[in-house]
Amino acid sequence: MRAWDPDLVLLTGDVSEDASASSYARVAVRLGTLGAPVLALPGNHDDPEVMKQHFPLGPWDGPGVFELDPWLIMGLDSTGPGKISGVFSQHDLERFDASMRGSNSEHILVALHHQPVPVNSPWIDRYALEEPERFLAYLDREKRVRCVAWGHVHHAFSSDRNGVSFLGAPSSVANSLPEKRKFTLDLAGPSCRWMELGDDGAVKTGVMQRV
Ligand SMILES: [Fe+2]
């Protein structure tokens, strides 16, 4: 990541296993040395109340937003108390929609923790975003959305949905081989997704391994 010299680090959730303050502090300090802003959103293992103390830029009171002209990067909180799968209330979706409509950015990237489409891995598709069609309906109405990105699934995933890039990021801790019925450790180890967001709305992306 340091060699990549990112303009923004997007943390797509499950930043901590135990949601301890010390674990968030450790990640925040390490990422702070990159010199790039960090937009963080919570996953099912996180405690948003603790996490937000260490990652001020995030969906702590409505969507977390970061402008990278001509792009708007949005981070949403798809977690629910005590839930492994993802959930958005109607209020969440309306605030998401209002944030998009209130932006003048030409292109929008939407990030959340839970996959809004199946990733073909039954062990984690059991815990996808619930009622994804409610979320997808808002995406379909907003023609500036170019990319939807998530974590949670522990392997890289990419697909195209109506011209929008749908991207699952691998884990920076432990990954599974894709399309397995059970979690099957990928011995290639930790990795993360890089993205280049073009001025024309194009998204170039790939996966980088730990070196
Ligand atoms: Fe997760």
Q: What is the DSSP string of 71-138?
A: EEEEE-----TT-SSB---HHHHHHHHHHHHT---SEEEEEESS-SS--S-HHHHTTSBSSHHHHHHH
Measured in Å, residue 106 CA sits from the centre of ligand 1 at 30
Calculate mean pLDDT across residues 183-189. Answer: 94
Distance (angstroms) between ligand 1 centre and the Cα of 104 equals 31
CA gap 109, 181 in Å, rounded:
30
How many whole angstroms separate alpha carbon 41 and alpha carbon 57? 9
Domain at 9-209: CATH architecture: 4-Layer Sandwich (3.60)
Which pLDDT score is estimated for 209? 87
* C-alpha span between 125 and 36 (Å, rounded): 32
Q: Work out the average pLDDT over 123-139.
A: 98
Average pLDDT over residues 138-166: 97
For the chain, give every domain's residue range: 9-209
Instruction: Give the distance (Å) from ligand 1 centre to CA of residue 171.
Output: 10
User: What average pLDDT does this structure show over 170-178?
Assistant: 95
Q: Is the pLDDT of residue 207 over 80?
A: yes
Residue 29: strand, helix, or coil: helix
Residue 148 CA, ligand 1 centroid: distance in Å: 16
Give the distance (Å) from ligand 1 centre to CA of residue 154. 8
Q: CA–CA distance from 155 to each of 39, 54, 129 (Å)?
A: 21, 26, 17
How many angstroms is it from 200 CA to the middle of ligand 1? 32
Q: For 78-102, what is each residue's pLDDT tens digit? A: 999 999 999 999 999 999 999 999 9
C-alpha to C-alpha distance for 74 and 188, rounded to whole angstroms: 30
The reported pLDDT for the residue numbered 94 is: 98
Q: How far is the CA of 197 from the centre of ligand 1 (A)?
A: 25
